[in-house]
Amino acid sequence: MPPSPHAWRDRGAALAAWASPLLVVAMIGWLLLDLLLRGISAPQPDPSVADASLLERWAEFLTSAPQQAGRSGGILPMLVSTMLILAVCLAAALPIGVGTALLLSEVASAENRFARTVRSSLDVLASVPSIVFGLFGNALFCRWMGLRFSILSGGLTLACMVLPLLIRAAEEGFRAVSLGQRQAAFALGFSRTSTIFRIILPQAAPAIIVGLILAVGRALAETAALIFTSGYVDRMPGSLLDSGRSLSIHIYDLAMNVIGGTPHAYATALLLIVLLVGINAAARSATRHFLPRFTMSSDGELA
């Protein structure tokens, strides 16, 4: 007997369910393959060492300053600036984000007017274009606070950008902790603070890590906001108050403004993807390694 119409619909739904993730994987694979093929051999060797190997070229690329507007040389100042901007961003966003998520999920009720206002504000902030954050950061941090174009201004601006992602992810993680675990902790005599730090935070750690990874991804890839806050210069920063060019800005400048800079733009983009994947892997590995130690003591009881 031929398949019934219901069977055809089931098969079509199953095919669509498999095709969607395969399409996503194919797009990511295509992007990575293109960057790998174009970027792996892109770093140009020092003219004095014409026969430099690929490893030597990449070592020079990672440890030297740019030359000829980025057509040759390396990306060390941009790499250092990017890491400093990211560190400032996470140092500012993580405590504020987790604290706000705890307030929304553990203190304020769902019908609380203040909580509704905060959630509505987060939804609006999440949809604001990055160029608007750049103008805001320039007006607040660079001009009003007197930080000028600096790594500190760029990092604080990015912290404002990633807060909605981090708060929403952490809040969902806190709400996912069952009421029974909270009641069991209270029955054992735990205070609210002890319950938060010993029960809720460890259980919500995976969701916080997801939010952190999303925040890192957006911060590493941001360009428009940093042009107005961290600056455009390609020199090595001496402090957080110095201007610094991020990797994403360097890619934009090489691809759009520098004739002959496309090879190094691809190499920098490849490095940026490698950094993002490495940070994601490190965050997940740290969660798997430290979370059991944080939640359980050596004798198997709650720490």
Q: Is 6 a residue whose pLDDT tops 80?
A: no
Rounded Cα gap, residues 241 and 247, in angstroms = 18
- The domain ranges of the chain are 58-295
**Right CATH for 58-295 from 3.40.50.2300, 1.10.3720.10, 2.70.98.10, 3.40.50.880:** 1.10.3720.10
What proportions of the chain, in percent to the nearest 5, are helix, strand and coil? Answer: 75, 0, 25
CA–CA separation, 140 and 83 (whole Å): 22
Cβ pair 154, 230 in contact under 8 A: yes
**Beta carbons within 8 Å of 113's beta carbon, 6+ residues apart:** none
Over the stretch 130-187, which tens digit does the pLDDT of each residue have?
Answer: 899 999 999 999 999 998 999 999 999 999 999 998 998 888 888 888 888 888 888 8
Predicted local confidence at residue 157, as pLDDT: 94
| Six-digit token string for 248 | 């994403």
The residue with tokens 């103008």 is: 135
73 beta partners: 66
Which neighbouring-strand residues pair with 225? none
Q: For 11-48, write each residue's pLDDT tens digit.
A: 777 788 888 888 988 998 888 888 888 888 877 655 55
pLDDT tens string 186-240: 888 887 778 888 888 888 888 888 888 888 888 888 888 899 999 888 888 888 9
**CB of 102 within 8 A of CB of 232?**
no
Place of tokens 């206002």: 117
Task: Tell me how far apart the alpha carbons of residues 202 and 82 are, in angstroms, rounded to a whole number.
Answer: 30
Closest by CA position to 226, among listed 158, 293, 170: 158
**Left, alpha or beta for 242 (phi > 0: left; psi -120 to 50: alpha)?**
beta
List Cα–Cα distances, 92 to 75, 95, 171, 189, in angstroms: 26, 7, 18, 33
